[in-house]
Structure 1
Amino acid sequence: MNLLSPNIYLYSFYKQDAEYPEKSNPIWDRTQEILDYFTSNQNLKDKLDFSSPRVLLNSEEYLVFSTQLPNIKGFVQPLTIHDSYAIWLNIGCSENMQLITQDISILPQLNPNQLLVFQETQDIDKQSLFWGQTILISAYLEDQELPNKLKELATTYLKELIGSELSCSHQGEFLSSFIFEYNSRTYHESSPHILVWLLNSKNTDSLFNKYQQKIINLLFYRHKIIKIFQNSRKIYEELEKRYRIYKTEKIFEINDSQLQNIQDKLQRIPKEALGYTYLLNGLKDSQNTIETNLYNYKTILKEIKAQDYRENLEFWEDFSENDCTFFSQQISADLNYYSPVIQLFDRAIAIIRGIVESEQAQLDEKLENTIQAVGGGIAAGISAAGIVATCYPLIEEPWGVISLRSLFHPFIASVGISVMVGIVAGLSVWWVIKKKPD
């Protein structure tokens, strides 16, 4: 089987990050691996200029390279899009050449060892910077190709390039040529996104170049939206995990008869509420970020439409109208389901606060009773002390030699009586207070 002037385009997007500034961002190493296979005299990092808000090459817009494959050349263009880096890489037949017939076996040679397909790494930090990538396969149609055979042809090209089959999730037209989309609708992180574009004429190729920057931006916002939705699924899983634990451990059931139970929950519930609220806010942020990037996505489609109102954009609009609607509805459903748990936290904290305040009130009442009892005893003692004062002459009575008969000096006897009166009076007051109904 032959194909006309095949080209492979790789669009790859990575988030900028302070831990991997400028040349240390993994996107450049990833691109260099591809370059190293096809050419030995190009070092991408040495040619990057980070002094501009946009990452540009030092001397030219594209880094062009040759390969050992006949009639196959390529180029790389680094870009900055808002808070992210992007790479637009091409390997295939030069646009300036006449249409060249290639055997279909050329396709796996353009993707040796699945080099173009993103591979997950063990480095979680670097993995988190990856927004996503799209591989675009383009080839010209021969005159005898039947329209009902185009999907089969596109699937054949895909299988030859990546060595496996993917289901065709969508098909349509773009720039007057047929385009087919292959990816998993589950949007798993390791699932590749591949487009097969079967070109009708050279005019399609020129229009492709005209809208190239907008196509790059469309793909960027698409991958960013999908990645944010994927991250929201991780938040959802953590919320579901916590929700099940709360139900199993009956964290919101407060038993005021078990003081230790209350003390444990008094320490745990506020911490759990803080963590749970943080997750909910993360879900809300995901929804807001998706809406922002969806707005940017739709704006680009409007700009293309403004340049040529006849252009059919249904292929791209399917993502914004169907997929993004599903993302937004799913996150809204999650928020509606898990947000009421915050009310349970508030209720549990209020109950615990009420129990603690009640316990404190009882302690304050006991302390007040004790003070009243002691006060009563002191008052009685003072009264007795007054009696002692009237007995001052007894103090001056001479002390005799201590003996059993003279053991109780009149003064000692008077003081002892005062203390005993105070104790009896204090106990009496305490008993009366205790018997008083609450």
Structure 2
Amino acid sequence: MNFKINATKYVSSLTISFIGSESFKFASSIYIYRITGDIWLVSLLYLLIQLPSMFVYFVSPWLVKKFKNDRLALFLRDMTSLVSLVLPIVLFFTVDKYSFSMSLIGISTFLGLVHSFRFIYLKNIIFFISKNNEEMKKYNTFSSLATSLGVTISLFFSYFLYNKLEFFWLIVFNMLTYIISGFLYFSLKTSKESAIFHKSEFNKKTNLKKHKILSWIYILAGSAIIGFFTFPKTQGLTQIFDFMKNDYNVETWGFYISLIFSVFGILGTIITLMLLKTKRLKTKKTLVEYSLCAIILLSLILVIVFFANSKNEVMFFTFVSIVSLHQLLFSIFLSYFYSNSYEMFDQKSFHKQNGYSIVFRVVLSSILFVLFTLSSKQLDYRYTFVFYAALLLLFTSLIIISTFLRRRYKKVETEQKKEII
């Protein structure tokens, strides 16, 4: 099993898959907002994309146990998505624009359900395409890189197709990406036996119990952040434009700002790839913690600017600058977070934590997105961002504290082992 060839296929398939799905989702949100002018419908779109997938995530431990062919599962997922896009092509030519915009919500909901299978089996296939922890960490970083590249490239395609051609061509383009990515997924070479990434560092039952509790706190807090961290560049993007609608327009600026956010996300992943080459393990760990702290500090700066300056120009460009840096810092954290999740749990427990943590993420983010939208409508976007920043502070604190305590317990047990020897 050649790592470089497999890694190239993995990155290519994931990138192409994201190009199609993200361009369709982004263009759909802009199309719905342009036709209806209702930010609630945009929020409903993103909400319904997530909610139906909860059932799939909840049964994911059973699912990967019963259907073990990861490559075939990923291939069938893309083929199902391909077939489902026949309906919007028919509707595009048979109904009015408003009705078509409403149909996009339903179609995107179904695609969100189907895409949830991709996430589950992409997680599981890591056990069969990686030989050791180092390869696993590389694949997780490649996954972040592919996601960032896919989102960035999808913006170009969605902008070009959306502005230069009919929406129909965006659907056709999306179908082509599913065909290519599906066959690339199916061509991946896998091992018959799964790799082992988890190794218990604790012998005493009391320390082992504390480790499990702290690991779950770390995973749930990280999942929560992943869930609502996308708000400023998804629903929040249309809401800040709605807040400043006299000066800025989402159809003019939305593409450029989303592109900037995506580019900074890629830069963060590139930094992570560079860190993988260094042997200074302590540097890697501290950089992740510093990244999380920097996210909080930047959020507080933006809150101050929001309330200290009444000029839309200052608020708007400060928002773009800080959220861009957020994307860079978050990309650094994300790769290590996913790698840590493999090392904290064995394969059997991994799928349980993966499924349950994602359900928690979806439920929490769905509730928060509704509350964020309600806050923006009843108050204004500045207060929404204060709420968002406060939640970032809460869950980031939980991650840092749980990480500190896990290291502390590990150090204590290591010292106890030395005393026994």
TM-score, length-scaled by structure 1: 0.25
Structure with greater Cα Rg: 1
The one of the two structures with greater contact order (alpha-carbon pairs below 8 A, sep at least 6) is 2
Structure whose residues are more often helix by fraction: 2
Structure whose residues are more often strand by fraction: 1
